[in-house]
Amino acid sequence: MNKGDRYRYLEGMYSALTAGMSDQTYIFCEHRHNIFGLVRPVTGHIKLCVIDDMIKDDELHLLRLVPKAWVRSDYQTRFENIATEFGPVTLKFKLTEDGKALDVIYEPQFRHQPKKVALHVPPLDGLKKVVINGKATKTAAGDVIMVR
């Protein structure tokens, strides 16, 4: 599989979310005598589509396969203190009302600095710039911005 195949990755992730969950208990694993949750496999897929520390050694990739539905103007999507091999990372993002800018708050707490941190611009029509921690960069859908 192509490592950048957004459609197939999201198709698999959403399939795991819906098919793997019980319609009666809303958890991922049931047992005859009691019920318990098992969420790690699916939450790992969710994390990797937004904060990916596994695609390349010593690199961190942000928003690489983020679903378009998670990038909204009426809601700030937040991934707070997400564990990575480099240390916890907080990433928050929200589209501006006019849909022309993506406001990103990126707060790493690295124990080990990666060689490269790349932000992948989501494929959104009309997106003209990305603002990372207050610093604006002109961009287009599909561009990759180096973050420091």
Q: What domain range includes position 126?
A: 6-146
Q: Is 1 inside any structural domain?
A: no
Contact indicator for 105, 92 with CB cutoff of 8 Å: yes
Q: Is 115 inside any structural domain?
A: yes
Rounded to two decimals, what is the model's pTM?
Answer: 0.78
Q: Is 124 inside any structural domain?
A: yes
Contact indicator for 97, 126 with CB cutoff of 8 Å: no
pLDDT tens-digit readout, 85-141? 999 999 999 999 999 999 999 999 999 999 999 999 999 999 999 999 999 999 998
pLDDT tens-digit readout, 20-49? 666 666 665 655 555 555 555 667 778 888
Q: Which of 135, 73, 129, 63 has the alpha carbon at shortest distance from 101? A: 129
Q: Is 129 inside any structural domain?
A: yes
Total domain count, the chain: 1
Strands 101-108 and 129-132: parallel
